[in-house]
Structure 1
């Protein structure tokens, strides 16, 4: 039927676009590349997802009724898609509106969204290549045609051969999906304990992020202040240290619970250096030369913002912002500028990188 052919084509195109954009978001290199091109990949992915949901909702009942008279293989294909669609849609919605859900549910949604994608890819490849090259798998007639079930199957008594086939295919697809998921692992645990409370996803806006040696890094505080000062990595321990245990939240939906962070409060640092702010705004710059974000002066000085140099009792990893990153305990992670090397107090508030590129909230409160 023409309508079914059109729906199948549109469904296939949107599904492939969803998988491609989703994989590009998952992989650090491609995500960063799109950031550098100024392409709002998250918005593109969400837009395609909305279109996909619309197509499925429009056609699912009609397709379901049409397949009632089709062989069991067609019905299986329909229900497989329906289950994956439901898992994608629900987990994706929870990630998008993650502020309304508790951390455990949000992290669970991220895991389900990832694993659903990677477990689906092997089946999609087999399905697509089979149609493209007219490959015929040696399925039994009762599966692909309108014939009666064999007595053993009808009585739910699988033969040893059937059980081994089903088990083998299941294990194969799980292995392929797992291999694909961990082929480019962008989830990195700081230590084994972190595996029980979530993973940090490493997001950068440049692929060539700074890899400082301790003696190469410095932090400058300048702009509209009574004086300018620059400190080095070796100066940090001489300032009053503050250790907090907090939950780190990302605006994309994942969180890491009970992270121990040690650093110097911005307020304490400025007090020790004798620096007085003479403006209402401050911009924090990253050593990668691209990323920056802005704050109200009161947000950094009066709301316990930290310059963090240790995470869970260890110095920061290079990809996590070593030697020092900014952290505000009441804001999303995109406000936590990594490799922070300058705090500039300004007359007007700058519009940060993700506010310009992704439409993120300027204040970024949880």
Structure 2
């Protein structure tokens, strides 16, 4: 072991430069793959390739442990070399803290099924905070340490003006080092580009209830009459949802009014049914409390949903013996998913129209959405407007792109 450490310390300077380079590439790959995983647009474009991107993100995230261990092996000599360089020491601590924080929170998100929402929800928040803070810091640190900034002829920004009484042949006055100028410019650019979005995210994270209120206020649906909540919904018997919904969509969010809304049950049924909004909102509803889990690792707990149980709809239409699968259509015209008849018969599968005593807003999949509490949320089809009974299997939108067909939590 001692011989190995001695060999590591040989050529210390070159190894340290290589370490910084590896750290930089790791952060770049994690940033790019993380952006692809976060943006709904890329989810639709990449198809099953998104699963590969996810595994690259996970593998590179785990690999970030190697530079940390490598640095620790060199830490003693490196720390001595930084004697008297306070800010460089601070930078080392910050970068190591970011890498370790990303690694640990990422591992929890990767294993969110095993650790549960009590760990995965805080881990996602930590991962977000480190990304919002860490990436701008690393970008700033990397740009301001570019090699060309150290070249003598690039070190200063000089004035070319001739002041009164100054001989025209006099040398221009150096007013700011180029490095200082770049630091100020890059720092200001990052603050302008990222600052407002970070503050918005911070406000939403600090007050998820306020964010939900904003989503409700910006509801694009124009449907009358609004559903009147049952006593169990207002106030909600679940006590109000705990957590923050993240809005993912692969299409523009649709909006509905009385002229464009309809709800249909057809296919292999004894009696095809169709309702307009006035008829649909008059149907007898029930209330249930359930948790809502997204496959990306976050959860919203204690939601009070109000609607009609799916199995009651199926009884109303009458399922023909040839039917095997219940297929769901989204009002965006793109998204579909399905459940087996056995899954559809679960008592808590609901066609919901209200959440915590208020109409479900368009951003959260209203006016009508499916709720399947025992499965991840990609099964809970948003903007639900049609249920079809079919005699074969159906591979839904996300299942075509690598997700599990059975999405059990």
Task: Answer whether TM exceeds 0.5 for this pair.
Answer: yes
Distance across 2 between alignment mates of 1:345 and 1:195 = 34
After TM superposition, the score normalised by the length of structure 1 is 0.78
- Cα distance in 2 for residues equivalent to 1:191 and 1:183: 14
Aligned to 1:151: none
Closer, same or farther in 2 for the Cα pair 1:329/1:290, shift >3 Å? same
Question: Are residues 196 and 326 of structure 1, via their aligned partners in 2, closer, same or farther at CA, if it must alter by over 3 Å?
Answer: closer
- What is the RMSD of the two structures over their aligned residues, measured on CA atoms? 3.0
SS of 1:114's equivalent?
A: helix
How many aligned positions are there?
324
Q: Give the structure 2 partner of residue 18 of structure 1.
A: 30
Task: Determine if contact 1:308/1:325 at 8 Å carries over to the other structure.
Answer: yes
Provide the TM-score with structure 2 as the length reference.
0.71
Q: Structure 1 residue 362: deviation in Å?
A: 1.3
Offset of residue 52 of structure 1? 3.0
> Can you give the 5+ residue segments of structure 1 that lack an aligned partner in the other structure?
137-171
Cα separation, 1, equivalents of 2:273 and 2:287: 24
8 Å Cα contact 1:295/1:349 also seen in 2: no
8 Å contact kept, 1:261–1:308:
yes
Which of residues 265, 283, 287 in structure 2 aligns to 1:243? Answer: 287
**Residues 42 and 248 from structure 1, CA distance in 2 versus in 1: closer, same or farther, beyond 3 angstroms?**
same
Look at both structures and tell me which one has the larger radius of gyration over its CA atoms. Answer: 2
Instruction: Write the deviation string for residues 104-136 of structure 1: whole angstroms up to 9, x where unpaired.
Output: 322111111101111113322321221126279
Q: Secondary structure at the match of 1:191?
A: helix
Which of these residues, 193, 218, 222, is aligned with residue 262 of structure 2? 218
Provide, for residues 27-70 of structure 1, a one-character-per-residue CA deviation record: whole Å limited to 9, x for no partner: xxx432442342415444324323433x4255233342441222
Gaps of 5+ in 2: 1-12, 152-187, 215-235
Are the aligned partners of 2:241 and 2:304 in contact in 1 as well (CA < 8 Å)? Answer: no
- What is the aligned partner in structure 1 of residue 213 from structure 2? 191
State yes or no: 1:200 paired with 2:245.
yes
The 3-state SS of whatever aligns with 2:275 is strand
Moved more, 338-347 or 44-53: 44-53
Alpha-carbon offset, residue 299 of structure 1: 0.9
Paired with 2:57 and 2:275, the residues of 1 have a C-alpha distance of 42
Is residue 225–residue 278 contact of structure 1 (8 Å, CA) maintained in 2?
A: no
CA contact (8 A) 2:64 2:103 kept: no
Separation (CA, whole Å) in 1 of partners of 2:391 and 2:25: 49
What residue is the counterpart of 2:301 in the other structure? 257
Residue aligning to 1:31: 40
Q: Assess if the C-alpha contact under 8 Å between 1:240 and 1:268 holds in 2.
A: no
| Inter-partner Cα distance in structure 2 for 1:217 and 1:92 | 41
Secondary structure of the corresponding residue to residue 282 of structure 1: strand
Q: 1:343 to 1:200 in 2, by over 3 A?
A: same
Q: Is residue 2:78 matched to residue 1:67? A: yes
Between 284-293 and 43-52, the greater mean CA deviation after superposition:
43-52
CA contact (8 A) 1:282 1:346 kept: yes
Asked whether 1:50 is paired with 2:94, we answer no
The equivalent of 2:92 in structure 1 is: 78
Distance, in Å, in 1 between the alignment partners of 2:284 and 2:344 is 16
Offset from partner CA, 1:200-227 (integer Å, 9 cap, x none): 0011122x23222243122222222224
Question: Deviation per CA, 1:151-202, whole angstroms, max 9, x where unpaired?
Answer: xxxxxxxxxxxxxxxxxxxxx9xx8876442457997732399998210001
Report if aligned partners of 2:330, 2:385 keep a CA contact under 8 Å in 1. Answer: yes
Matches within 5 A, 1:101-120: 101-120=115-134
